[in-house]
Structure 1
Amino acid sequence: MTTATYPAPVVATYGSTDPAAPLVVLLHGRGSAEHEILGLAQHLPVGPAYAAVRAPIAEGGGYAWFANRGIGRPVAASLESTMAWFRTWLDDVAPAGRPVVLVGFSGGAAFAGGLVLDDPARFAGAAILYGTLPFDAGVPTDAGRLADLPILVAQGDGDHVIPRELLDRTWDYLLAESAATMATLRRPGGHGIDAETVHALGEWITTGWLGSTDDR
């Protein structure tokens, strides 16, 4: 699989049109599309530019970020290829010096995690919402990999979509091994972005991706 097999990115935007404004990239879940997650932007802080990108692989009436070998377990070659496709788009819209923050939900969270683990210096922060990092998928997960990078992780104790072992491994790695600057939200609900999550995400963005919403 090569990047040439993928269509040109389809992107929906909201907020600032200043090409120097911080860019918040919204990454939808598996089987969804860009217009669904773009609705988050109207509830988030004014100031950044928001861009929701459509994943490049058609699947189930929607789109996916990578081929799976199981829920939350990307095929390494597929993830590598789609990340290269994404970075080609990103480097065009956000050249060096423009802050870029990733906000990923479910499958989009795994994709966001892959991007920051692959190249932490490229990003100003990432929100991993109700998903897993892409373990055992060709991206580094060594200790200290995300040193000082602002990360928000949100999980639901009643999430039965993402395997619990992957949610726990993600939580433990981010808080105990990654050395990221962490903000956390753990709630009793399931697999979905609710008002509490939107509030936590907005606070994290407002405080420069360095706030804490630790409700453990």
Structure 2
Amino acid sequence: MTSSETAPVAIISRNDDSRLGTPLLVFLHGYGSNEQDLMGLSRYLPEEFTYLSVRAPLQAGPGFSWFPLTQEIDYSIESVGQSVETLWELLEPLSKQHSSITLLGFSQGMAMATSLARYQRDAIAAVVGLSGFAVEPRDLEIFDDEKVLQNPIPLFWGRDLADPVITRDKIEYTLKWVSQYTELTSETYPQIGHSVSMEELEDVDAFLKKVVLGRE
């Protein structure tokens, strides 16, 4: 761990025996934010879940990031792998205490959510990605896309087609990847920019109830 990294920090919606055996949903925030950012979304999502929100390990301005970004939203593939492995070290013990693990990532958090699912496919029930992208692996050996191909990930991907932050090359790769490796639910929301809307949260709620909780 470098001096710019912090120990894992997380907040959880219930931290007593009532969470044991419940489905766990893990919030992964965007670049420059923190673990408080997404926790409030839980009030709009199914009450059956226990909600865990994790702080990214690297300092980024007033907040934190999962891996360094340039202004062009390029990234170090090595640092992606390190953050994915660190996140799984935190979640792996919890996976034994909950009925399932679902990941919800916003922006860079979607990159982390899809990356962790590609690293530990058998452990992840579903992924929700909001205004984000999937990482192009290049030489990242921890991704097991062959396993994902055999068992595609249920993925909800919500975004504004005119998102001003996620660059076109990231979207083009993500479009290609999700079409091959996921059971995709894709929705677009005009005028939300790089944010989350109530309509989108209603769609995420329905997705979670259907895909993870088995309700129609």
TM bin (shorter chain): 0.7 to 0.9
User: CA 1:41–1:77 in structure 2 vs 1: closer, same or farther (change >3 Å)?
Assistant: same
Distance 2:84 2:143 in 1: 14
Where does residue 20 of structure 1 map in the other structure? 21
What do residues 162-202 of structure 1 show as CA deviations (whole Å, max 9, x unaligned)? 00231132123212x11x22211112231111111111111
Are the aligned partners of 1:24 and 1:49 in contact in 2 as well (CA < 8 Å)? Answer: yes
Where does residue 197 of structure 2 map in the other structure? 194
Match of 2:183 among 167, 181, 184: 181
Matches within 5 A, 1:75-94: 75-94=76-95
Where does residue 118 of structure 2 map in the other structure? 117
Distance 1:141 1:188 in 2: 34
What do residues 27-58 of structure 1 show as CA deviations (whole Å, max 9, x unaligned)? 01100111111011111111010000011111
Give the letter aligned to residue 191 of structure 1.
H
The alignment-based identity, stated in percent, is: 25
Farther off after superposition, 5-14 or 35-44? 5-14
Where does residue 58 of structure 1 map in the other structure? 59
What do residues 53-87 of structure 1 show as CA deviations (whole Å, max 9, x unaligned)? 01111111000011235644331211111111111
CA-based RMSD of the aligned residues comes to 2.5
Are the aligned partners of 2:178 and 2:184 in contact in 1 as well (CA < 8 Å)? Answer: yes
Where does residue 214 of structure 1 map in the other structure? none
Matches within 5 A, 1:1-216: 2=1, 6-14=5-13, 17-68=18-69, 71-95=72-96, 98-137=99-138, 138=140, 140=143, 142=145, 145-146=148-149, 147-175=151-179, 177-178=180-181, 180-189=182-191, 190-209=193-212
1:93, CA displacement in angstroms?
A: 2.0
User: CA 1:169–1:22 in structure 2 vs 1: closer, same or farther (change >3 Å)?
Assistant: same
Are the aligned partners of 1:72 and 1:110 in contact in 2 as well (CA < 8 Å)? Answer: no
1:5, CA displacement in angstroms?
A: 7.4
1:22, CA displacement in angstroms?
A: 0.5
Distance 1:117 1:107 in 2: 15
Are the aligned partners of 2:26 and 2:104 in contact in 1 as well (CA < 8 Å)? Answer: yes
Give the letter aligned to residue 46 of structure 1.
E
Farther off after superposition, 159-168 or 47-56? 159-168
Are the aligned partners of 1:58 and 1:64 in contact in 2 as well (CA < 8 Å)? Answer: yes
Give the letter aligned to residue 172 of structure 1.
K
Unaligned stretches of 5+ in structure 2?
Answer: none
Are the aligned partners of 1:21 and 1:47 in contact in 2 as well (CA < 8 Å)? Answer: yes
